[in-house]
Amino acid sequence: MSGFGNAIPVPGPAPAGDRTSGGGRCAFARLRSRDVDEHASRLDAWRQVYEQLRPGPFEGEVMEALFDGFQLFRETTSQAVHQSGLGRDAALMFGAPLAMPDGGYYGGRPIRRDSVIVLHDGQELDFRTPAQLDLVAVSIPAGALRRHAIECERRDLERDLRGLIVASLPPQRVEAFRRLLLAALEAVSCDPHVLAQPPAREALARSLLRGTLKLFGPAGGAGAPVRAPTRSHTLVRRAQAIVRGRIEEPVTVEALCVELDVCRRTLQYAFREVLGINPVGYLRAMRLNGAHRALKAAAGEGASVQDVAARWGFWHLSHFAADYRRMFGERPSETLKRYARG
DSSP conformation letters of 99-142: E-TT-EEETTEEE-TTEEEEE-TTPEEEEE--SSEEEEEEEEEH
What is the value of pTM for the model shown?
Answer: 0.86
Q: Where are the domains of the chain?
A: 3-225, 231-340
Task: Say what the pLDDT of residue 7 is.
Answer: 64
Angle at 225 between CA 99 and CA 87, to 5 degrees: 65
| pLDDT digit string, tens, across residues 75-106 | 999 999 999 999 999 999 999 999 877 889 99
Phi-psi region of 274 (alpha: psi -120 to 50; beta: other; left: phi over 0): alpha
- Fill in the DSSP letter of residue 53: -
Which residues, given as ranges, of the chain have pLDDT below 70? 1-24, 218-227, 248, 342
Helix, strand or coil for residue 70?
strand
Task: Say what the pLDDT of residue 234 is.
Answer: 93
φ, ψ for residue 61, nearest 5 deg: -140, 140
**Distance, C-alpha 166 to centroid of its chain:** 15
- CATH code of 231-340, in short, is 1.10.10.60
Task: Say what the pLDDT of residue 135 is.
Answer: 96
What secondary structure does DSSP assign to 175-224, as a single string? HHHHHHHHHHHHHHHH-GGGGG-HHHHHHHHHHHHHHHHHHT-STT---E
Same fold, 3-225 and 231-340: no
Q: Are strands 109-111 and 3-9 parallel, antiparallel or unpaired?
A: unpaired
Q: Under CATH, domain 3-225 is a member of which superfamily? A: Jelly Rolls (2.60.120.10)
Phi-psi region of 262 (alpha: psi -120 to 50; beta: other; left: phi over 0): beta
Q: Count of CB atoms within 10 A of residue 163's CB?
A: 9
